Amino acid sequence: MLYVTALFTSMHIGYLSLLDLWFVAGVGFLLAWVRWRTGSVLGASLVHACVNLSLFLFVPLWLAPLLT
């Protein structure tokens, strides 16, 4: 689980934010734990997809009216 967490975190180094790396490491560990607990990558994949949809689609749509 630690190897997968480190690999997942290393893919986010480009954002150049230590806080982001700590957050991603926590999420990566949680997703690795979900995969270990369930024995399926489906649950972790769905969580990852929901987080990405929230961060890159829904949150900007909700914040756009506040920023204009």
Question: What tens digit of pLDDT does each residue of 2-59 get?
Answer: 998 999 899 989 888 899 999 999 999 999 998 999 999 999 999 889 988 988 888 8
Q: What confidence category does residue 67 fall into, taking pLDDT thresholds of 50, 70 and 90?
A: confident
Q: What is the model's pLDDT at position 55?
A: 84
Q: What is the rounded distance in angstroms from the CA atom of residue 3 to the CA atom of residue 36?
A: 13
Domain containing 26: what range?
A: 2-67
- Per-residue confidence (pLDDT) for residue 14, from 0 to 100: 87
Instruction: Please report, as a single letter, which amino acid is at residue 24.
Output: V
Give the span between the Cα atoms of 28 and 48, in whole angstroms. Answer: 9
Q: What is the pLDDT of residue 25?
A: 95
| Alpha-carbon dihedral 15, 30, 51, 17, rounded to 10 degrees | -10
**pLDDT computed for residue 52 by the predictor:** 87
- The number of domains in the chain is 1
